Amino acid sequence: MKRLTHIIWILAAVVLFAGCNQSKKMLQRGEYYDSVMEAINKLRSSPDNKKNQEVLLQAYPLLKENSLRKINNAMEMNSSNKYSIAVEEYRKLNNIADAIYTCPKALQLIPQPTQYSRELGDVLNKAAEESYQLGIRRLSLQTIQGAREAYQHFVKANQYIKGYRDVNAKMAEALEMGTIKVVVQKPITPQSYQLTSDFFYNNLMAQFSKTAANSFVRYYSEEEAHRVQLAQPDHFLVLDFDEFSVGNMRESKTTKEFTRDSVITGTTTVNGKSQNVYGRVKADLTTYKREVIAQGTLSVRIINAANNRIEQHQKFPGKFTWVNEWASFNGDERALTDAQKKMAKLEPKMPPPQQDLFVEFTKPIFDQTVSFVKNYYSKLK
């Protein structure tokens, strides 16, 4: 018990030392905000820790000086985002002040942490206007990338002042302009497979929307594009099943002889006593195997709607094999294993419907297609 207690104390000391080192390392790297916050958090649970006390006393003045320096430099240089810089730095300083006020030991060491609520209030409206105007300028470029940058500026303006001017309308406008609109064409299959093909397509559309690489890609079915009167899509995603076959059957059978020694084959009488007679038994086991194969390839083309150029083209194969095995035997079943006896009691089964086979062979195709489309649009700027 004493040994266990000793180990626990050692582990606690290691954890405490690691926490002290962490805040100290942050301080040495000039990460004043993280260093101060780390020291405060450690002082909540270990208020008497001298190293974290020292870190707090060293890092807090440096944090204030560094944040105010950044603000002053941004103002003097008339940076295009000077008010955003001011908001960020004032918020950091206020966060630290709040943290100190809620940590008794930190408040004892720094009795009056400086708060910048008035200064923050003074620049919030200016920061909102600054981000709004930056968004307007980027939006006026009338490019996809400019619209995406504009959207981020409008989002910041809205975060500074909720509903600032007509920022919600501007966000919607920038999002619309910066979004690549992709019409996904449904693969055409024979009528007997159309229901399962539609099932594959609908799941694909749902997954595209769920795993969209960013908010600037929108996938439309052909029906939806028609319904919303999408005048000019950016891309067509064309899906075609080719090299496609379902229901190819392959059957085979093999016969092997199996034997087992020292099996009781009868009895005999020796000196008036009945005794077992041991010998070898054998059986011929015929194993039947029926396979039904479904396989095909999905061709995926991404086509630029403006010039009909193929931007990307990939083919994704899929295969599924349904297997049914059973057996029969001639001879003495004692020559067989339990598994072979069980197999000999099985009956041949009917293959699943072709629609089910279609679904199975498209499962690996589904995953490959989703990954391909996601990766392509995540890299597209």
Return the CATH architecture of domain 185-256+282-379.
2-Layer Sandwich (3.30)
Quote the longest CA-to-CA distance of the chain.
Answer: 123
Distance CA 173, CA 268 (A): 100
Torsion of CA 65, 71, 76, 80, to 10 degrees: 160
Contacts of 57 (CB under 8 A, 6+ apart): 109, 110
Helices and strands of the chain, counted as H and E runs? 12, 5
pLDDT at 348 over 50: yes
Nearest-10 crossing angle of helices 167-178, 117-139: 40
- pLDDT the model gives residue 272: 78
Q: Identify whether the C-beta of residue 353 lies closer than 8 Å to the C-beta of residue 193.
A: no
pLDDT at 17 over 60: no
1-19 mean pLDDT: 47
Q: Identify whether the C-beta of residue 148 lies closer than 8 Å to the C-beta of residue 178.
A: yes
The sign of the torsion formed by the CA atoms of 230, 235, 241, 242 equals: positive
Q: Identify whether the C-beta of residue 249 lies closer than 8 Å to the C-beta of residue 324.
A: no
pLDDT at 314 over 90: yes
- How many C-beta atoms lie closer than 10 Å to residue 370's C-beta? 16
Contacts of 199 (CB under 8 A, 6+ apart): 359
Question: Could you give the angle at the alpha carbon of 346 between the alpha carbons of 340 and 352, nearest 5°?
Answer: 130
Q: Identify whether the C-beta of residue 168 lies closer than 8 Å to the C-beta of residue 136.
A: no
User: How is 313-340 classified by DSSP, letter by letter?
Assistant: EEEEEEEEEEEEEEEEEEE-GGGS-HHH
| Confidence (pTM) | 0.70
Distance CA 333, CA 356 (A): 37
pLDDT at 186 over 80: yes
The token pair that represents 223 in the structure block? 């029906």
Predicted confidence band of residue 37 (pLDDT cuts 50, 70, 90)? very high
- Residue-range domain boundaries for the chain: 2-177, 185-256+282-379
**Residue 82 CA: distances (Å) to CA of 119, 123, 124, 127, 130:** 14, 10, 11, 8, 8
For residues 251 and 6, the model is more confident at: 251
Contacts of 176 (CB under 8 A, 6+ apart): 147
In which residue are the tokens 């002290």 written? 20
Summarised one tens digit per residue, pLDDT across range 135-181 is: 999 999 999 999 999 999 999 999 999 999 999 999 999 999 999 99
Q: Is 54 exposed, middle or buried (0-12, 13-18, 19+ CB in 10 A)?
A: middle
Lowest-pLDDT range, 249-253, 275-279, 304-308, 327-331?
A: 275-279
Please, what's the b/e burial string for 10-26 (b: 16 or more CB within 10 A of its CB; e: otherwise)? eeeeeebeebbebbbeb
- pLDDT the model gives residue 133: 98
For residues 41 and 19, the model is more confident at: 41
